[in-house]
Amino acid sequence: MRAKLFVVLGIALLTAAAVQAVAVRRYLRDTSVTIGEVMATPYGGSHPVIRFATADGVVVTFPGNGWIGGYATGDRIAVRYDPRRPRISPAIDAIGSVWAGVIASVVLGVGFVLGGWLSRRR
């Protein structure tokens, strides 16, 4: 019974990963890229505060998130943003920032499916 539950949870996570991947692809299609600057790293290099200006001159400051690291104050980095709503969902243009949720869901989903499948065979 537990093996089936693990497999079902794994399939649910893989389904969630597919839905997230579609959303990320849409985000990548609809966003613009510019260069931003790390203004501070209050909690270390994995949590930078970034400032950038949109093509229209709107200045946005946001906290970086995802699986990122090694940033220092003054670093210049690529930033993605939605030109229609630049303050809503800016992100560092890096795999660990943009794709973190998808990667985590895939890894956990595969782990649950394999764990359930292998424990069922015992």
Give the start-to-end residue ranges of the domains of the chain.
Answer: 2-120
The average pLDDT across 30-43 equals 96
**Percentage of the residues of the chain whose pLDDT score is greater than 90:** 84
The average pLDDT across 63-87 equals 94
pLDDT given for residue 121 in this prediction: 66
Query: DSSP secondary structure string, the chain?
Result: -HHHHHHHHHHHHHHHHHHHHHHHHHHHHH-EEEEEEEEE-BTBTTS-EEEEE-TT--EEEEE--SS-----TT-EEEEEE-TTSTTTS-EESSHHHHSHHHHHHHHHHHHHHHHHHHHHT-
**pLDDT band at residue 59 using 50, 70 and 90 as cut-offs:** very high
Which CATH architecture describes the domain 2-120?
Beta Barrel (2.40)
The average pLDDT across 36-41 equals 97
Would you say residue 120 has pLDDT above 80?
no
pLDDT, averaged across the chain: 95
